[in-house]
């Protein structure tokens, strides 16, 4: 008698797995992050108090993110860390509706700490793209912008109609689905082994001085972004906009991120990542200057269309510069350092300083001060990042077989 066998479950293709994960992160984050300042205002916090809460959240995220990156480069699976973070973030988000000003502030800080392993998605993608073109990263990352664009507008409309207490009910299910997708679709990959320390008398490659200089540029950019983006939410609300316009503004930015990220591989070939980063900083400078003098909420929101171009250029360039400058065996650590400075250390100063300046001198002074800081960020990158990065040597590059990856199509 012929034995019947059940067909094995077909694995999800690698690029589809990455695209799905980045898309879900964008959808989930857009239900929460644009509205945190508005939620804190609704609970009665002042601008300086909001800055303090956001600074504490960034400080904790910086510390936990670096610890997770260290573990991901050495012992633990980055994919599984993201899965655990998804479950924890969904649980913590459900506590946002608890009563009390101090309680909601502590929940926001805790949520930031728990979400910090999400920064490992970039090294996860870069590790899987070892045999594909590095410019394919931008085409994967644009899925996050696409998810953010739709989700932020829909979330803003729902929150405008039903109130901010709906935030946990929007964020938690999507984040849980992200965790289940990561568990099923992105299996852990082997760690990148370092070269033998004593082979041929060669020394292990270390993180170069140029990368430390680039982190200074990331700090300046991140501080200016934290000051302007968080308190632009308050400015739009003060000028008569509500949750829907705040969500729409976040969606406007994502709409222009998508085509820009899809086109960055062409710009990189002609200009290089260092120049793209500086151009993005220059665009931010012009936007901050415009925000300093805008008096209409809709105009302030529409300027986020231009901010999307700046974010796409600076973020994709920063990820690629970090990947090029650090040794392959420290890929996750390099990405975490860059992101921890850009979205962790810098927002501590930017959020706290921005809140104090906003409350003491008004939004115009805060936006004008941010133009000076972001201009210094672009200039620093031009000075410290090499015009061309030396290709990785065979000793420095990973030797484990990587999954076969086909070119990505937008």
The answer to whether residue 252 sits within a structural domain is yes
What is residue 44's three-state secondary structure?
Answer: coil
Q: Report H helices in 163-242.
A: 167-185, 209-238
Tell me the per-residue pLDDT of 78-133, one tens digit each, with 9 for 90 and over.
Answer: 788 888 999 999 999 999 999 888 999 999 999 988 988 887 887 777 776 654 44
Q: Is residue 401 part of a domain?
A: no
Give pLDDT, residue 192. 53
Report yes or no on 306 lying in a domain: yes
pLDDT at 290: 94
Give Cβ neighbours of residue 94 (< 8 Å, ≥ 6 apart): 168, 172
Among 105, 58, 88, smallest CA distance to 172 is for 88
Residue with structure tokens 């936007």? 287
pLDDT band at residue 6 under the 50/70/90 scheme: very low
Structural domain contains residue 399: no
Picking from 223, 255, 191, 216, the residue whose alpha carbon sits closest to that of residue 338 is 216
- Asked, for residue 250, whether it belongs to a domain, the answer is yes
Which CATH number covers residue 230?
1.20.1250.20
Q: Please say if the pLDDT value at position 327 is more than 90.
A: no
Q: From start to end of 72-220, where are the E strands? A: none
pLDDT band of 165, cuts 50, 70, 90: very high
Is residue 296 domain-resident? yes
| Residue 400 in domain | no
Q: Which two tokens stand for residue 19?
A: 């695209």
pLDDT at 365: 93
Look up tokens 């899987």; give the residue: 128
How far is residue 105's CA from residue 60's CA, in Å, rounded to a whole number? 13
Tokens of 324: 């090029």
For residues 179, 259, 407, 401, the Cα torsion angle rounded to the nearest 10 degrees is: -50
DSSP-derived 3-state class of residue 338:
helix
- Reported as type and span, the H/E element at residue 242 is none
From residue 408, give the alpha-carbon distance in Å to each of 16, 186, 282.
Answer: 10, 17, 29
pLDDT tens for residues 270-306?
788 888 899 999 999 999 999 999 989 999 999 999 9
Domain contains 410: no
Answer yes or no: are the C-beta atoms of 23 and 148 closer than 8 Å. Answer: no
Q: Which domain holds residue 27?
A: 14-186+205-384
How many domains in the chain? 1
Q: Has residue 409 got a pLDDT over 60? A: no
Read off the pTM. Answer: 0.70
65 — pLDDT class (breaks 50, 70, 90): confident
What letter would DSSP give residue 12?
A: P
Question: Tokens 């502030």 sit at which residue?
Answer: 105
Angle 283-287-288 from CA coordinates, rounded to 5°: 115
Determine contact, residues 40/57, Cβ cutoff 8 Å: no
Q: What percent of the chain has pLDDT over 90?
A: 24
Alpha helices in 239-361 (DSSP H): 243-271, 273-291, 297-302, 304-325, 331-340, 346-361
Model confidence at 168: pLDDT above 80:
yes
Q: What is the pLDDT of residue 187?
A: 72
Average pLDDT, the chain: 79
* Cα atoms in the 13 Å half-sphere on the side-chain side of 180: 7
The yes-or-no verdict on residue 338 having pLDDT over 70 is yes
Tokens of 237: 């609300």
């Amino acid at each position: 008698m012929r034995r019947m066998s059940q067909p094995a479950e077909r694995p999800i293709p690698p690029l589809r797995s990455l695209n799905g994960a980045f898309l879900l992160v964008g959808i989930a984050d857009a239900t929460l992050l644009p509205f945190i300042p508005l939620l804190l205002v609704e609970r009665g916090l002042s601008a300086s108090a909001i800055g303090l809460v956001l600074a504490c959240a960034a400080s904790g995220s910086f510390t936990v993110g670096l610890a997770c990156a260290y573990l991901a480069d050495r012992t633990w699976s980055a994919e599984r860390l993201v899965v655990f973070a998804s479950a924890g973030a969904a649980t913590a988000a459900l506590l946002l509706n608890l009563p009390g000003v101090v309680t909601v502030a502590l929940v926001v800080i805790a949520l930031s700490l728990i979400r910090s392993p999400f920064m490992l998605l970039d090294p996860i993608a870069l590790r899987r793209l070892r045999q594909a073109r590095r410019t394919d990263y931008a085409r994967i990352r644009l899925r996050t912008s696409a998810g953010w664009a739709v989700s932020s507008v829909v979330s803003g409309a729902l929150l405008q109609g039903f109130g901010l207490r709906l935030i946990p009910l929007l964020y938690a299910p999507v984040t849980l689905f992200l965790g289940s997708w990561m568990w099923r679709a992105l299996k852990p990959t082997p760690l990148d082994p370092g070269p033998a320390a004593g082979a041929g008398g060669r020394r292990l490659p270390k993180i170069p001085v140029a990368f430390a200089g680039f982190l200074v540029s990331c700090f300046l950019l991140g501080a200016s972004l934290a000051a302007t983006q968080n308190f632009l939410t308050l400015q739009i609300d003060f000028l008569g906009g509500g949750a829907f316009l705040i969500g729409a503004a976040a969606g406007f930015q994502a709409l222009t991120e998508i085509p820009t990220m899809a086109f960055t591989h062409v710009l990189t070939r002609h200009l290089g990542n260092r120049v793209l980063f500086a151009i993005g900083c220059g665009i931010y400078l012009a936007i901050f200057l415009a925000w300093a003098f805008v008096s209409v909420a809709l105009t302030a929101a529409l300027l986020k269309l231009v901010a999307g171009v700046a974010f796409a250029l600076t973020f994709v360039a920063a990820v690629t510069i970090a990947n090029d400058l650090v040794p392959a065996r420290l890929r996750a650590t390099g990405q975490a350092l860059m992101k921890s400075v850009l979205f962790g250390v810098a927002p501590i100063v930017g959020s706290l300083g921005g809140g104090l300046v906003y409350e003491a001198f008004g939004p115009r002074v805060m936006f004008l001060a941010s133009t000076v800081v972001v201009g210094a960020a672009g200039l620093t990158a031009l000075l410290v990042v090499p015009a061309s990065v030396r290709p990785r040597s065979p000793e420095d590059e990973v030797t484990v077989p990587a999954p076969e990856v086909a070119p990505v199509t937008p």
